[in-house]
Structure 1
């Protein structure tokens, strides 16, 4: 369907129909911004220490001294222990005898014990989080990063199934079904009686979260014209995702209880229900399924909204190619079937994987930065807005391949430089981290649109979903990159910086799609150039058969 843009060119680029599709699809993206990163506040760990039961009769001096001092792994200074206390029997005995801590008693000789009566949490920032609710600290602190990882396991699952469902049943139906899944299960999370239940529901939220994002992304990419498509796939969906991300710290600042915060975050999803009657199905997808009459009806309705008279026959010239494509159903296996598409897929999977590690690790790390957690999260979100704008500028006028390479490589360098900053220059380190986040975010916006341009209509949603699915290995392990801070503050930045810079070099192997029409069949795809290929690319037997079938296929009556 190489003439699709020509066949629909009579609509113009920016009429009332395109404006409606653009903004309504962008609105569906907003909940993804605060759902995907809400765990920053839902599972933040406030300052804590062992609880001294109220019935224990201790003087004020002994209560203050009942927690041993330990060296903090991040600052290096002495701080009260978070996971142990002096044995209360001995402390009570000393207190009853009127002895003074540090004067009459050498506390270094007193045995310690675990927090047998639970923990006392600092309530100055949060009324409650899932950490304070279910004591996810000390021996159970491994559950905190696992909570995020299980959400991203849901994202992985959603990426795997949603793309294939969308290519089979349609972009629109998958978009609204998964929006409902995300909203309803976020609401169910409010009533979680245990950490296990919370994680199980959070997994399903992850399934819905990525599925509706990819469906909305592909739907807009296929409906809109070439120029508006570039704006939508780079600045459009990403800016509205960033808007949702910016709303997250504002919600969290005014709602300090995790259950009420989740309730507030679930409500906007219910407002999206009326959009079903205003967002159409993708005409490109309908044509790929042979449903020419439905695609024709959508185009005529669009022409009516744009106050344009449509031609008598809109898609007549495309039906020959449609016939050959309908003969064979496509699935995720086609992404590896031929040499050309296989190399493109594997390279993109590696790029996406590294990007998700860097993006989500830096986003989840905002609660650990020096200063106010709400401001740091808001700053991290604000940094994304100019990044998305830059991605649109680069995608509009620059080489796709060089744009992806430059942003990845620079992001890696910024993260590597953080380890060279002296410990006392905290704000300089934060600035470098935000510059790294800026570059990685720009690359993330570019790779989404770049991927959609490289794959054909018959596989586009499956391909974007598969890339997203492959990248979730990175998002699943991203919380554990932050967990490495407990051993060394520099280690996460060294690993993320090295991976990002090396992947930037790898991205130079991808084909260029700047100025090329969207491919509609597998044989229309750009060829993978590689780094050592000296001879022109030749079609495989599978690709040659498909091309021959296209040429010989009869025109659909």
Structure 2
């Protein structure tokens, strides 16, 4: 007890002389990690906990491709011919072009006459599809939103429009959940962003038109990046500097890369776009247990003056890792956390600084164009 009081008195005297600056809690936290273990049992558990969030991140980004993919073999639908064989229906309905069967036009024929003679008169006019489209489910072995709602030909722009709104949602979501993480903590932002992904994903199942579909994709878009990147950063805060680069790259390669490989096979195995959304979104509800399993950022807690909670987190690391933090290091962290902070870390401050403003704008443009290129390749 006397040693603790002595350490506290020494720290108080350094604060009074101005030797302990408010930002020293960051360096002190790194010192704590060196003593509590830079990659102990608790850090390994946190590393493993990133896996389901990486899968959600992958689904948020790629799932729309599997529910809105367009079967390449489609042609105009004619109700009077539905009892005929599929190949015969297509031959009688779709005009032949140098590139194959016309997918967006049909003969304007007397179909009673066509049924009698099983041929289309050569002078028959060609018009756009009147009764919708038929799809041959060969390259895509299940019905998608596109094939069910006929979003092809003159309606083919519906999907790119929805995808664009998705990225508009990611812009708003990135700002909102970033603010939420700074204001209320990393854990509430993790829960909120993943719940938003689930709400938009399940809501998509019950859409029937274009605009309700777009609204749901906007909701899903608000969770893009935040649903994984917040816990990604949170976990890296607790990884020692000597292991941080390895964990940062391994988590993306192993979890995000693995999910990207597995997701297409899941889509083919389920072969139903509604069930695919159910099976990939409903498990996200388990995110409600995150506040009881994932520790809040000790750095954020200390920056908000919640020193007691930050110390509890460090004690939990001690218990799981079987290590001990020296009292002088812990006291130093406590005292630095209790110092007033006069720095403004808001988004407005970033744009007030010319170098930071320039860097943010360049990063936004670079990321936007990279996503557009990926979208075109897809």
Q: TM-score, normalised by structure 1?
A: 0.58
Separation in structure 1 between the aligned mates of residue 373 and residue 90 of structure 2, nearest angstrom? 43
CA displacement at 1:236 relative to structure 2: 1.0
Matched, 1:303 2:346: no
Aligned to 2:91: 64
Aligned to 1:110: 124
**Cα deviations across residues 119-139 of structure 1 (Å, max 9, x unaligned)?**
111123333111112111111
Separation in structure 1 between the aligned mates of residue 150 and residue 360 of structure 2, nearest angstrom? 43
Contact 2:77 2:93 in 1 (8 A): no
Contact 1:31 1:269 in 2 (8 A): yes
Q: Report 1:281-300 matches (<5 A).
A: 281-300=296-315
Contact 1:179 1:209 in 2 (8 A): no
Aligned to 1:87: 108
Matched, 1:20 2:81: no
Separation in structure 2 between the aligned mates of residue 63 and residue 352 of structure 1, nearest angstrom? 43
Separation in structure 1 between the aligned mates of residue 52 and residue 118 of structure 2, nearest angstrom? 66
Between Structure 1 and Structure 2, how many residues are aligned? 350
Q: Report 1:257-276 matches (<5 A).
A: 257-276=272-291
CA displacement at 1:318 relative to structure 2: 5.0
SS for the counterpart of 2:134 is strand
Aligned to 1:248: 263
Matched, 1:224 2:249: no
Aligned to 1:205: 220
Query: CA distance change for structure 1 residues 66 and 263 in 2, over 3 Å: closer, same or farther?
Result: same
Aligned to 1:489: none
CA displacement at 1:170 relative to structure 2: 0.6
Aligned to 1:176: 191
Contact 2:38 2:238 in 1 (8 A): no
CA displacement at 1:323 relative to structure 2: 6.2
Separation in structure 1 between the aligned mates of residue 53 and residue 364 of structure 2, nearest angstrom? 26
**Cα deviations across residues 102-161 of structure 1 (Å, max 9, x unaligned)?**
xxx5x3x42111211111111233331111121111111110211222222221211111
Give the unaligned 5+ runs of structure 1: 72-77, 366-557
CA displacement at 1:326 relative to structure 2: 2.7
Separation in structure 2 between the aligned mates of residue 309 and residue 188 of structure 1, nearest angstrom? 48
SS for the counterpart of 2:70 is coil
Query: CA distance change for structure 1 residues 360 and 227 in 2, over 3 Å: closer, same or farther?
Result: farther
- Which of 319, 344, 354 lines up with 1:339 in the alignment? 354
Separation in structure 2 between the aligned mates of residue 117 and residue 84 of structure 1, nearest angstrom? 11
CA displacement at 1:306 relative to structure 2: 0.9
Separation in structure 1 between the aligned mates of residue 179 and residue 338 of structure 2, nearest angstrom? 21
Separation in structure 2 between the aligned mates of residue 58 and residue 268 of structure 1, nearest angstrom? 43
Query: CA distance change for structure 1 residues 12 and 119 in 2, over 3 Å: closer, same or farther?
Result: same
**Cα deviations across residues 415-456 of structure 1 (Å, max 9, x unaligned)?**
xxxxxxxxxxxxxxxxxxxxxxxxxxxxxxxxxxxxxxxxxx
Q: Report 1:509-528 matches (<5 A).
A: none
Q: 1 or 2 for the larger relative contact order (CA 8 Å, sep ≥6)?
A: 2
Matched, 1:51 2:77: yes
CA displacement at 1:328 relative to structure 2: 4.2
Q: TM-score, normalised by structure 2?
A: 0.83
CA displacement at 1:57 relative to structure 2: 9.8
Separation in structure 2 between the aligned mates of residue 61 and residue 184 of structure 1, nearest angstrom? 44
Look at both structures and tell me which one has the larger radius of gyration over its CA atoms: 2
SS for the counterpart of 1:326 is coil
What is the RMSD computed on CA atoms of the aligned residues?
Answer: 2.7
Query: CA distance change for structure 1 residues 319 and 337 in 2, over 3 Å: closer, same or farther?
Result: farther
